[in-house]
A and B are shown apart, each in its own frame.
Chain A
Amino acid sequence: QVHLVESGGGVVQPGRSLRLSCSASGFTFSNYAMHWVRQAPGKGLDWVAYIWHDGSNEDYADSVKGRFTISKDNSKNTLYLQLNSLRAEDTAVYYCARNGGYCSGDSCYGGYFDYWGQGTLVTVSS
């Protein structure tokens, strides 16, 4: 079955960096686009970033654009999120999630999150 396991979270000072990883199993990782979604303590869900199945295209929320970088190593079945210039408001549980959808002919449709990891907590504090 599909399994996503995040790691790399922790406590970090403002302005510092962190790299999160998401190890995937139970499906053909190279066939799927992937997302990062975060949830601040006691708050709702916020989409962070998205990467195409082959890593050729990325998209980011405005709040993290220029500071965070999503990447994907299909040979290692691993998704990454590089977090730079961290701020207190980046404190959250970070989830990786698989992109859900379908393709018909040359067109693909989707963007919901069909499987989620358990999350890794990032705390930005001095």
Chain B
Amino acid sequence: DIVMTQSPDSLAVSLGERATINCKSSQNLLYSSNNKNFLAWYQQKPGQPPKLLIYWASTRESGVPDRFSGSGSGTDFTLTISSLQTEDVAAYYCQQYYGTPRTFGQGTKVEIK
């Protein structure tokens, strides 16, 4: 199985400041046939289902604010929130869909400092 490891497990960021979450895969997620990284990011607020933020490592889902961005390739990926807002308090998960089983990172909790 492809193991996804996120860091940190939690972080506290001041309002308006940048939040950065890292995700490392145990295997390469760049597929040569379409030159895309099979990596997605989700946001989950308490009591709610996860919400897709980013897919193909850097494509923002429709309706997602542009303060959210994804980057990286191969085995190392980053989710950046450029200016943290109150409504961004949540857990964030990366997920690979290069192989089966689909696997998630353990999650990163983002709080306001």
Contacts and interface: CB of A to CB of B under 8 A. Distances in A.
Contact of A61 (B97, B98, B101): B101
A30 B43 CA distance: 27
Interface residues of A, number: 24
B100 interface: yes
Contacts of A113: 40, 42, 50, 52, 95
Nearest to B6: A44
B49 A95 contact: yes
Interface string B26-70: 000001011010101010100011111001000001000000000
Contact of A114 (B61, B104, B107): B61
Listed residue (B36, B38, B49, B52) with the most chain A CB atoms within 10 angstroms of its CB: B49
Listed residue (A45, A50, A100, A109) with the most chain B CB atoms within 10 angstroms of its CB: A45
Contacts, number: 64
A59 interface: yes
A112 interface: yes
Nearest to B38: A111
B47 to A, nearest CB: 9
